[in-house]
Structure 1
């Protein structure tokens, strides 16, 4: 058995190296690649993705997995070997249903679509991006049909990001959240005057914004010896190994929270990948459990830490040193309320914690309509604006502030958006457990001590990599399946205090 296991690991290690080479090229495309390199980069990405897929669906891997099945069954469920065989088998069975030619076609199309999206967003003209979006959509529908589904074409695409989760489950979760959030938004809308954040809308030196973001990232425990930050049109995190996990941010010269919270968000992702056990490296286990699990970490550090009162009690003097003119007279309480102000806004990544999930729900509904061919691509901007009006009571004045704001559809990432809300829910559920285990957590934050939190996350979550599904993790760590109770209670408690209801 050991010989078969070693053979499997050797093959997976080679595939892992190719996939990480793809990731390096993808990182470069979004950061430093000149625009003239787009066509060649699309070809390179497609070629490497084709090679990696061919190697993974090789009959030899299927044979090895079959021969190792009995061995895995005799091991503890959470052992490294049993988990590797189980997760690889799940990935292999799915990959075998998809032709390598389709994989390379999807990668090639999305590389071109990203460049088209970047240009279209800069010029705020959806019509320039529409043909590329249609191509991505057609390819992903083909991909979903290859994987197969019973009830909903969205199911296999959602499963790519959240293994085991069904569209029907997401709908139920969203109905529960919507039922609670809409009355909250209505109540707060009548009290917007209670919280001012005009002081966040000033001119802020870009280098100073960069530096304060780096300082905050270091404080959380992000290891710059094993990572770096760069700039990109849309912030993201990518990992080439547990020792090379990179983040990006974007800076707005006239709105401080954009870059600062983008950095904290991506740091949350990066800390997860840097915390995976080195023994899992070069295997399919060396990644986050799911996108929902990953987003729980980004949203936890961005919101539950970065938008907390204890955090600003510690960090405000540093901010005042960096921006004395803008923040000298701003109190901790004013800063805390300002960065948490609830107000319907056009841009998802800048949305407050309450309206953010409404942004996700409308994208989820639009994705389903596109995939089920109830909504033609050319009608998407109008449908987007109608949904914004329905959910948030505002309509974007142009495509850049509306339908073109997110990078996801240029990558063909249909099924990704719900994981942000799942992450919010899991983050709150985790945080309740963390505060029981570390009762003086707030006091630690006030003193600038964040390593206790990071150590807890490393021990209970990060270390496992992809061994468990999101629901398995929730049960293992918190003792209960994923549920909305903690998240709703958190929002009502925090914003009830701020807005006096």
Structure 2
């Protein structure tokens, strides 16, 4: 068999596996949107079976042989070619997957499928004790997975690598530490200002149906294609890709808090626009997959914050918002509304946090899950450790488990190593946006006119279409000319927030 034929057969096999993965994603979407209560057990069996089948295909010895043979082929001589991107990334994934026993994969799938429903119930009832045994089991299985994969410095490295390929815990710790050192003085400066804007108007009455209509209108306006996607409700907002033309975004609404539903929808739409911006003809292959979760998060945070919390954005959308919510916003000026959505104030809930303090929420989770995986923090001590970090970093103590240690879905899903990508995404987002401004000119004018296609097109071409051709650091350097840094993010925050606070 010649290398070209071998490569074509490899791509066919990988695309078929993607069909199973998309089926599993659809089942997960269904589980979090409308699964009947008594269907949990069978859904768990379905998810466990699919996880086993996907792992079996991903560790097929014939796949490994083909990748080994193609790694030295002339087909991959150009490292930036599609073939080289496919083979390089698939071989990396194969080498990682083959180390994890099939039985462990199934056990994790079973534990996390059941864990989601246990978490939902525990959060609703504010009962951490009922979730703790499940969490302990998922952590133990995740530790086994990390040990099977292997690591050089710390166990957490093996799990972090799944979401941010090549990243090391020590490097992330240094990056986030530098970000915290820059954020804390800025937050203190804002706290000390004589001008303290109020966010009270955001806590008035906002009818859910009107929120849904407005959120859909805005997300469609910025570029989310509803002919290739849909918007639904769930306990915890997320985005999932079912196929090259089927991207599902999910959010939640609070009738007495405007920001939760609106900015949550913009956030998930940003994720969805990345998925929709990937090369559909390469679906299932590394050339048609997102670069990393840090890059994925950069897209959601860019649209949520750098666009959605900008003054120019609301010059266009605020009159619409006033029409949608006349009782709550009819007597409020654009300037006051803009200040309200950019108030910096320590809060309990990560997904509802302001731009500046949000990263402190992430750093807390990163430190806690790193210690859980490394075995230096016990589940029995987790809630107290959570509260202590919130008190020291944000000056507040959660009054309940639901608003504290139980607020995120990630640990019930076994997503250890995921949280740091949120802050990495914030850093990438600011660097990408600065590069877009440099190339496209001031984007405030088109935003104020309700035009967002220029930025979307730029992101499609500069970020999305590359797939996994480059690592996150390589992509950032290629797009922005700079290595990852917190400088652009701090500049963005200062430029927006200091005037809001009269500084």
- Quickly name the TM-score band, shorter chain normalised: over 0.9
Deviation at 1:191, TM superposition (A): 3.3
For 1:160-179, what per-residue CA distance to the aligned partner results, in whole angstroms no more than 9, with x for missing partners? 10001100111111111111
Matching residue of 1:474:
476
Conservation of the 8 A alpha-carbon contact between 1:297 and 1:423: yes
Say which SS state the counterpart of residue 228 (structure 1) adopts: strand
Matching residue of 2:493:
491
Deviation at 1:285, TM superposition (A): 3.4
Q: Which moved more, 1:277-286 or 1:158-167?
A: 277-286
Say whether residues 1:151 and 2:153 are aligned partners: yes
Matching residue of 2:274:
272
Conservation of the 8 A alpha-carbon contact between 1:222 and 1:270: yes
Conservation of the 8 A alpha-carbon contact between 1:12 and 1:284: no
What pairs with 1:383-462 in structure 2 (closer than 5 Å)?
383-462=385-464
What pairs with 1:100-499 in structure 2 (closer than 5 Å)?
100-191=102-193, 194-499=196-501
For 1:279-330, what per-residue CA distance to the aligned partner results, in whole angstroms no more than 9, with x for missing partners? 2113243221000000000000000000000000110011011111111121
Say which SS state the counterpart of residue 106 (structure 1) adopts: helix
Alpha-carbon distance in 1 for matches of 2:353, 2:269: 18
For 1:64-95, what per-residue CA distance to the aligned partner results, in whole angstroms no more than 9, with x for missing partners? 11111122575322211110001100100000
Give 5+ residue unaligned stretches, structure 1: none
Structure 2 residue corresponding to 1:3, chosen from 5, 8, 12: 5
Say which SS state the counterpart of residue 230 (structure 1) adopts: strand
Conservation of the 8 A alpha-carbon contact between 1:87 and 1:285: no
Alpha-carbon distance in 2 for matches of 1:74, 1:153: 32
Deviation at 1:450, TM superposition (A): 0.3
What pairs with 1:15-34 in structure 2 (closer than 5 Å)?
15-34=17-36
Conservation of the 8 A alpha-carbon contact between 1:242 and 1:275: no
Say which SS state the counterpart of residue 70 (structure 1) adopts: coil
Deviation at 1:155, TM superposition (A): 0.4
Matching residue of 1:88:
90
Deviation at 1:180, TM superposition (A): 1.0
Q: Which moved more, 1:390-399 or 1:276-285?
A: 276-285
Matching residue of 2:48:
46
Alignment CA distance shift 1:499-1:54 (3 Å): same
Superposition TM-score, scaled by structure 1 size: 0.98
Conservation of the 8 A alpha-carbon contact between 1:16 and 1:284: no
Deviation at 1:49, TM superposition (A): 0.9
Conservation of the 8 A alpha-carbon contact between 1:121 and 1:400: yes
Say which SS state the counterpart of residue 288 (structure 2) adopts: coil
Alpha-carbon distance in 2 for matches of 1:217, 1:14: 32
Conservation of the 8 A alpha-carbon contact between 1:280 and 1:465: no
Conservation of the 8 A alpha-carbon contact between 1:192 and 1:342: no
For 1:123-148, what per-residue CA distance to the aligned partner results, in whole angstroms no more than 9, with x for missing partners? 11111110110011000000000000
Say which SS state the counterpart of residue 355 (structure 1) adopts: helix
Alpha-carbon distance in 1 for matches of 2:367, 2:284: 37
Deviation at 1:190, TM superposition (A): 2.6
Conservation of the 8 A alpha-carbon contact between 1:192 and 1:343: no
Say which SS state the counterpart of residue 183 (structure 1) adopts: helix
Structure 1 residue corresponding to 2:79, chosen from 77, 83, 105: 77
Say which SS state the counterpart of residue 246 (structure 1) adopts: strand
Say which SS state the counterpart of residue 31 (structure 1) adopts: coil
Conservation of the 8 A alpha-carbon contact between 2:195 and 2:501: no
Superposition TM-score, scaled by structure 2 size: 0.98
Give 5+ residue unaligned stretches, structure 2: none
For 1:18-51, what per-residue CA distance to the aligned partner results, in whole angstroms no more than 9, with x for missing partners? 1111111011001111121111111110101101
Conservation of the 8 A alpha-carbon contact between 1:72 and 1:82: no
Q: How many residues align?
A: 501
**Cα RMSD (Å):** 1.1
Conservation of the 8 A alpha-carbon contact between 1:220 and 1:450: yes
Alpha-carbon distance in 1 for matches of 2:371, 2:37: 32
Structure 1 residue corresponding to 2:37, chosen from 35, 38, 43: 35
Conservation of the 8 A alpha-carbon contact between 1:245 and 1:270: yes
Say which SS state the counterpart of residue 72 (structure 2) adopts: helix
Conservation of the 8 A alpha-carbon contact between 2:75 and 2:83: no
Alignment CA distance shift 1:72-1:462 (3 Å): farther
For 1:195-215, what per-residue CA distance to the aligned partner results, in whole angstroms no more than 9, with x for missing partners? 011111012111100100000
